[in-house]
Amino acid sequence: MTDTQSKIAVVTGAGSGIGRAVAVELLRTGWSVALAGRRVETLEETAALAPGAPSIAVRTDVARPEDVAALFGATVDRFGRLDLLFNNAGTFGPGGVPVEELPYDAWRHVVDTNLNGAFLCAQTAYRTMKEQTPQGGRIINNGSISAHAPRPHSVAYTATKHALTGLTKSLSLDGRPYRIAVGQIDIGNAATEMTRRMSTGVLQANGETAPEPMMDVAEVARTVRHMAELPLEANVQFATVLATAMPYIGRG
């Protein structure tokens, strides 16, 4: 892409993990990116991985409507429009807690971040894409293998990821008249700091603890970029990208 053809993206949760990998992939391939996350210093570290590429770092708690409004306002002020939202920010919540012991505050935190935050970002991106000229854009939601099948003791995370699938379908339908394409990527065992424990051993559905295969997070980033760079007349509605031998098919 030349500068005049540069596409504009917002990536939430861009300070680490999958969000960082996707943001850097976009920056290195000609995109301008608004990096959103709770800590500006980690967002600046992400930007430094693609020196010279156009980006802004915006401190954002996606569960706060005012933060989300400020994020998209800053993006349009800086870059003029919005072509892509990678709706990625999320949290696992407390790991390994049985449902009967999960505190309500922990449940609420996961729902506020993974579902309410995803809705707020998608809603604001949708409004921006509907109102801009030329009209349209793309939203890619980060689902999970847990949007299909749960892990033990993951009720809050699994419930929000199943809900994201409904959000994706509804946004995809409602976006049709406005050239807003909406899809979802469901990711399994991409190697990041958050998933490091999986290579050493995690609880399985049969009660055993076992290490699981991992894949390079760069494969996820390349898949997101492929989805993002399709013309708006084409859409990857759902993509599942996972470590080949992870216990997903046949989980349980």
The CA distance from 11 to 24, in Å, is 10
157 annotated active-site: yes
- Which is the catalytic residue, given 126, 157, 178, 248? 157
Answer for the pair 22, 46: CB distance below 8 angstroms, yes or no. no
Catalytic residues: 157
